[in-house]
Chains A and B, each alone.
Chain A
Amino acid sequence: MPDDDKVTATAADKATETTVAPDTSDHDLLSMDVGQEGETLLEIDHVTLRFGGVVALNDVDFSIKRGEILGLIGPNGAGKTTCFNVMTGVYTPTSGEVRFNGKAISGSKPHKINQLGIARTFQNIRLFPEMSALENVMVGCDARHKTSVLGALFRAYRIRPEEHQLPENPLRRSFAKVFGISRHTLEERGGRERSMELLKFVGIADRAHELSRNLPYGYQRRLEIARALATEPQLLCLDEPAAGFNPAEKEDLMDLIRRIRDLGHTVLVIEHDMKLVLGVTDRIVVLEFGQKIAEGTPEEVARNPKVIAAYLGEPDDAA
């Protein structure tokens, strides 16, 4: 069975994996403009999504505030990933609306939504397997670059370089002084630098030049986060980032999520693992059967009888 193979391979990878290197990245290069903390960033406004007779989301309604870490939890099949897909433009809601910064985004193309500032990772990892880790992140960086196809072809858009951008080689140096440096070159260089910083930030810079398909499982998960961060999202959505992690790795991940928030990103986490969700989030929304059944701080949610019932089942003497 191929699936079994994958599981054993993952376990073997993990055994050899070293602990995450400390974060040595340059935060100035990565930090974002936070905007007004506490204002509403994303609103899911009474969204309903039907596939034929199946109601995947039923009148789901919640919002995410700037600068917070929001958890989206619920048992299997509750509609968490579907909710993600509606937010990132994969599905268009049957009724209701998704608003980002007050602007309706439901029905927009996925790459447009990314440009607005929403990035995500995938529950089942979807990297570009034949590209190196660095290249994967650079694809994300390209989302913010301005070089056009013709710009990459003719490199005619020149920018007067600053002193530190000038090349070492004296011949090239004087050429760059007279004709400037093409935007393509500057962006390519900047993207490479930023990508490297992001890899350091998530702790996998030691294998930056390896093909992403050859990376161990934990590295792949973190690479997905780095790639999503590269698109400079205001809102980062993580779809079960801790799936398949051991407790130590989960600790690292919680720390990483907090550091991402500190950079200025708002984070939405889908997660099964209650300990992780309760430990890292500011607020939690609980879905069950496509409906929101609870919302509140981790303590409130953990005490909510509906949530306990959804996760543990109704006690026999409930009636």
Chain B
Amino acid sequence: MTIITQHTNRLRDRLDGVPTWARALGMLLVVAFAFYLPYLNILPFAYIRTDLSATGTDWASVLFLVVVYMIVAVGLNVVIGLAGLLDLGYVGFYALGAYSVALFGSTSSPVVEAIQSKFGLSEEWAVPFAICVPIAIAMALIAGVILGAPTLRLRGDYLAIVTMGFGEIIRICARNLDNVTNGAAGITNVPVPPGPEIDGRPFFNVSEPERWYWLALVVLIIIIWLARRLENSRVGRAWLAIREDEDAAAIMGVAAFKYKLWAFAIGASLGGMAGLLFGSKQQYVEPNGFMLNLSFLFVAMVVIGGSGNILGVLIGAFLLTYLPERFREFQEWRPFAFGVALVAVMILRPQGLVPSRRRAREFADRKVEAEEAAADA
């Protein structure tokens, strides 16, 4: 295990020495390859495709889901990895994003029907997609603030329990508010992003998932860019200070509560963004799509990948989404494999597969302290 750590550190130190232009070129190549992925058909690389066997899942759709979960992971990383707040109800924001676009953009949603009859609009009318996007993000953000304002005074486990309750509340509301959300039946006809019609079909349609994948990829890249800006600013520093010693940070003038609330709100709006993409591509949302175990999956992505490090959580999201799809043949083994993987990571590499340097050091220090304490006892 120590060998792995040293190895990755050495690799990283060597990467640090690479000139800026070479790194930019490398990034460009990675991004170009990511865009090309849906068409990947050269052996032996094609073995990573998930649709090789007849029972496999469509490759581009899997890629789309991977990227949507990557957006989720980057958002949750702000909350867990940077601000150090354990949020176990993240699926609530994801659901809010998906439901917002469905409720306001679908012609068959009860909300839109109510608006139609009230203002005498035609049956075809619904809120345009371009307006649904800010609505969805705003709904998730407001939910984040409403949840955070009273609960962020709690610390540690208590916060985790309250947020877990929030995730369930959203799902149960979606299932039981029949005349708002159609209850368990869900909402169909969720709108898709606008685009030129090709062969009489909208640009974003069900049978061409690679377009959805590219759209999500663009959103992901923008979000990573913004998240890195936050990390390398006074905001990231404030989050770090709060994580290290909240009371000392407050006395040094860091408005701890404000920054924690911002972390929550930013995380929530990214969750809403991911939910919006998901709901729009499915063109159908239903409460069962947002079960609590999805929250745990999201947290696992961040923790296994390496909380606090964007590259780490991207890898975590990729592994936990892609591997189950690639090895569908062993579907009944999935929970078992998941459990074993979690335990293995917790024992062998508790800082995550690709942790931030700081987190890696924190874990190493804690381990030394624990060993010293054990030796003293």
A residues whose Cβ falls under 8 Å from a Cβ of B: 1-2, 5, 88-90, 109-111, 114-115, 119-120, 122, 126-131, 135, 138-140, 142-145, 147, 149, 152-153, 155, 184, 187-188, 191, 211, 213, 227-228, 231
Write out the residue numbers on chain B whose beta carbons fall within 8 Å of the beta carbon of A109. Answer: 250
Is A138 in contact with B237, judged by CB distance below 8 angstroms?
Answer: yes
Query: Chain A CB within 10 Å — which of B229, B238, B250, B362 has the most?
Result: B250
CB distance from A238 to the nearest CB of B (A): 13
CB distance from B307 to the nearest CB of A (A): 14
Write out the residue numbers on chain B whose beta carbons fall within 8 Å of the beta carbon of A114. Answer: 250-253
CB distance from B196 to the nearest CB of A (A): 30
Q: Quick check: is B230 within 8 A (CB to CB) of the other chain?
A: yes
Write out the residue numbers on chain A whose beta carbons fall within 8 Å of the beta carbon of B252. Answer: 111, 114, 119, 139-140, 143, 227-228, 231
Q: Quick check: is B372 within 8 A (CB to CB) of the other chain?
A: yes
- A2-B376, A90-B251 known; 17 new pairs, CB 8 Å cut-off, are A1-B376, A89-B251, A115-B253, A119-B251, A128-B241, A128-B249, A129-B244, A139-B238, A139-B241, A142-B237, A142-B253, A143-B253, A144-B253, A152-B229, A153-B235, A227-B252, A231-B253
Q: Quick check: is B255 within 8 A (CB to CB) of the other chain?
A: yes
* Pairs across A and B, CB under 8 Å, 6 listed: A119-B253, A126-B245, A142-B234, A142-B238, A142-B254, A153-B235
Q: Quick check: is B233 within 8 A (CB to CB) of the other chain?
A: yes
Expressed in whole angstroms, the Cα–Cα distance for A155 and B226 within the complex equals: 10
Q: Quick check: is B12 within 8 A (CB to CB) of the other chain?
A: no
Closest to B358 in A: A130
Expressed in whole angstroms, the Cα–Cα distance for A1 and B313 within the complex equals: 39
Given A114-B252, A126-B245: A149 in contact with B262 (beta carbons within 8 A): yes
Q: What are the 4 tightest A-B residue pairs by CB atom distance, in nearest-first order?
A: A143-B253, A152-B233, A114-B253, A128-B244
Query: Chain B CB within 10 Å — which of A135, A142, A188 has the most?
Result: A142
Expressed in whole angstroms, the Cα–Cα distance for A129 and B255 within the complex equals: 19
Write out the residue numbers on chain B whose beta carbons fall within 8 Å of the beta carbon of A129. Answer: 244, 365
Closest to B231 in A: A152
Is B253 in contact with A2, judged by CB distance below 8 angstroms?
Answer: no
Is B226 in contact with A153, judged by CB distance below 8 angstroms?
Answer: yes
CB distance from A43 to the nearest CB of B (A): 20
Expressed in whole angstroms, the Cα–Cα distance for A127 and B249 within the complex equals: 9
CB distance from A293 to the nearest CB of B (A): 28
Write out the residue numbers on chain B whose beta carbons fall within 8 Å of the beta carbon of A149. Answer: 230, 235, 259, 262, 266
Interface of B is mostly: helix
Is A184 in contact with B244, judged by CB distance below 8 angstroms?
Answer: no
| Cβ-defined partner of B253 (8 Å) among A140, A147, A184, A211 | A140
Write out the residue numbers on chain A whose beta carbons fall within 8 Å of the beta carbon of B373. Answer: 2
Write out the residue numbers on chain B whose beta carbons fall within 8 Å of the beta carbon of A143. Answer: 252-254
Q: Quick check: is B248 within 8 A (CB to CB) of the other chain?
A: yes
Is B235 in contact with A110, judged by CB distance below 8 angstroms?
Answer: no
Expressed in whole angstroms, the Cα–Cα distance for A142 and B376 within the complex equals: 40
Write out the residue numbers on chain A whose beta carbons fall within 8 Å of the beta carbon of B241. Answer: 128, 131, 139
Write out the residue numbers on chain A whose beta carbons fall within 8 Å of the beta carbon of B240. Answer: 128, 130-131, 135
Is B365 in contact with A213, judged by CB distance below 8 angstroms?
Answer: yes
Is B250 in contact with A187, judged by CB distance below 8 angstroms?
Answer: no
| Cβ-defined partner of A111 (8 Å) among B244, B250, B262 | B250
Write out the residue numbers on chain A whose beta carbons fall within 8 Å of the beta carbon of B266. Answer: 149
CB distance from A282 to the nearest CB of B (A): 25
Is B255 in contact with A111, judged by CB distance below 8 angstroms?
Answer: yes
CB distance from A33 to the nearest CB of B (A): 18
Expressed in whole angstroms, the Cα–Cα distance for A88 and B250 within the complex equals: 10
Write out the residue numbers on chain A whose beta carbons fall within 8 Å of the beta carbon of B248. Answer: 122, 126-128
B 218-276 contacts with A by CB, 8 A = 226, 229-230, 233-235, 237-238, 240-241, 244-245, 247-256, 259, 262, 266
Query: Chain A CB within 10 Å — which of B250, B251, B253, B361 has the most?
Result: B253
CB distance from B264 to the nearest CB of A (A): 12
Expressed in whole angstroms, the Cα–Cα distance for A110 and B249 within the complex equals: 9
Expressed in whole angstroms, the Cα–Cα distance for A191 and B247 within the complex equals: 22
